[in-house]
Structure 1
Amino acid sequence: MKKETKIQESGTDLPKVETSPKKKTSQKAAAATADAADAKPEAEEPPAPAKEAKSEADPICIVIPYLAAKAKGDELRYAVRAWEKSLPGIRIVIVGDKPAWAGKELLHIAHKPLSNNPQVDVAHKMMAAIASDLVPDVFVWTNDDIYTLCPVQLADIMTLKSHGLLANRGKANGVYQENAKRTLEALRKLGITAPYDYATHTPVVMEKESLAKIIEDFGCDKEGHLVYTLYANSFFRDHRPIITQNDGRGSIIASVYRPNPDTRILDKVLATRKWVNNNDAGWTAVEPKLKELFPDKCRFEK
């Protein structure tokens, strides 16, 4: 397996990945350089005009897979507005369908579904992101139904988060549960007997080369797996992630899965969590709250 990627924790800087070792200069080459420095040119040329200095760090890139047919409403629009408010100056790339309201600054990688298995479709969209020059080597992967509720730093996203140990999840004999079982079996074959479940509905940081290896090694583009759970368990085996508490005691994420949750609890989590997400049933309850929180257009909209 590839060694764990080293990335710096910073408020806004994109992590940088070392791609090649630095070569040491030989003594002979050093001497030649010194001789060249002492030699006078036959004719002095005027200095070249100063070039505009480049920024030391590119903007953080947020990548969101999007399938319009599965959307209940304007989830993506509010997710984009939330990101712009929480991390100004970011770049956002959508993989999949392009919404009609998208402006020029909302970058787009066209992709049509190639599988009815949602996790296989996710793997194919990840492959499209890996292949695209619009996405840097290190990027943030999130979903259209995850909304950032407060200012966040890159460190908030980079921190490993888990529900706990990986086990059967989803409806009995459903597609997601089968994908979770397949993921558990694959990790146990690697000798990871008690892997963590990293499918927390929070944004995550990934690196292209490492992600491509996971997809290839486990055949994620052919059979459904929980891709980021494979990624995090494989490259961060000895780490102890933060265990999210998706209940009244948590502070990171709240999931709304009912159309009629207790409004007092919903208001509390919206005021105290970093992220909130919803499923199809929960969209009814979340939509009016998002309209209140993010009423204005952002630079990613027409």
Structure 2
Amino acid sequence: MEMDIVVPVREGAVNEQLRYALRSWAAHLPHGRVWVVGHRPAWADGVQHIPTRQTGTKYQNTTLAVRAACEHPDVSDRFLLANDDMFVMKPLAEMPVLHRGPVRQVETYYEARASGAYLRGMRETRALLAELGHPDPLSYELHVPMPVDKAGMLRALDIGRHLDVVHKRSLYGNLAELGGREIRDVKVLHRAPRGYSAQDVFLSTMPDSFTAGHVGAHIRRTFAERGPYESRRR
């Protein structure tokens, strides 16, 4: 049985990134059903929908969405957790398990560039994993789909419930001892034609780099045809 895809979606967006992400998954990523959790854009068709209340921070809202998918009886027991800005650019036989290397190295990267809730959540998640017997955990906070087991993710969410910015992918991935292959993160932040190549299997964008950047034009050219998850009406 092929794994379903679960994608949390924020409220109130037309979300052209999601449109093209769905096209890319339909073309290149073997899967069962697609579950949109949270907001379903009016144009989205042929997808399953789990509505959620989005009254917290973006981190709390996505955690709620993942929990709702794990608790839904019709979502496959193993599923692919994706974001609405993750694009699969080449055909895959199946989705591999990928990670970003040790969390300590990712922390160093973010310490040189930013601070705030995301970095604090990374540190707190790493500290929690160390308490649980994982002194040098791996980061699974990549912008690529991630294979997830419902029971294992629910256990991770319960363990990390006290963290307001839990890095749930990393918490789950280490507790489940997923292992996997290390890659760089594929998020393209800028409009300029750098940070990616036409040979990349996975890409991810910011709203601006998708709308006005070189990488967004590349993605839209690649998936120019309407996909099976769009209504016939625009």
Taking structure 1 as the reference length, what is the TM-score of the superposition?
A: 0.68
CA distance in 1 between partners of 2:77 and 2:16 (Å): 29
- Give the CA deviation at 1:219: 0.7
8 A contact 1:119–1:179 mirrored in 2:
no
CA distance in 2 between partners of 1:74 and 1:293 (Å): 14
- Give the CA deviation at 1:112: 2.3
1:237-252 matches, cutoff 5 A = 239=179, 241-246=180-185
Q: Which amino acid aligns with 1:152?
A: L
Deviations along 1:203-254, whole A, 9 cap, x unmatched? 111111111111111216x5211101001111217x4x322135xxxxxxx3
CA distance in 2 between partners of 1:126 and 1:245 (Å): 24
8 A contact 2:3–2:80 mirrored in 1:
yes
- Give the CA deviation at 1:62: 0.8
Distance 1:245 1:217, change over 3 A: closer
- Give the CA deviation at 1:88: 5.9
1:87-236 matches, cutoff 5 A = 87=29, 90-103=32-45, 105-116=46-57, 118-154=58-94, 157-159=95-97, 161-167=98-104, 168=107, 169=110, 172-219=114-161, 223-236=164-177
Larger radius of gyration: 1
Unaligned runs of 5+ in 2: none
Q: Which amino acid aligns with 1:229?
A: S
- Give the CA deviation at 1:182: 1.0
8 A contact 1:85–1:151 mirrored in 2:
yes
Distance 1:100 1:189, change over 3 A: same
Number of residue pairs aligned between Structure 1 and Structure 2: 224
1:269-280 matches, cutoff 5 A = 269=197, 271-280=198-207
SS of the residue 2:207 aligns to: coil
SS of the residue 1:260 aligns to: coil
Query: Alignment partner for residue 290 of structure 1, among 193, 208, 219?
Result: 219
Q: Which amino acid aligns with 1:256?
A: V
Q: Which amino acid aligns with 1:280?
A: P
Identical-residue share of aligned pairs (%): 23
Higher RCO (C-alpha under 8 Å, 6+ residues apart)? 2
Deviations along 1:179-210, whole A, 9 cap, x unmatched? 11111111111121111111111111111111
SS of the residue 1:202 aligns to: coil
Q: Which amino acid aligns with 2:82?
A: T
- Give the CA deviation at 1:287: 2.6
User: 1:62 matched to which residue of 2?
Assistant: 5
Distance 1:158 1:260, change over 3 A: closer
**Superposed CA RMSD:** 2.1
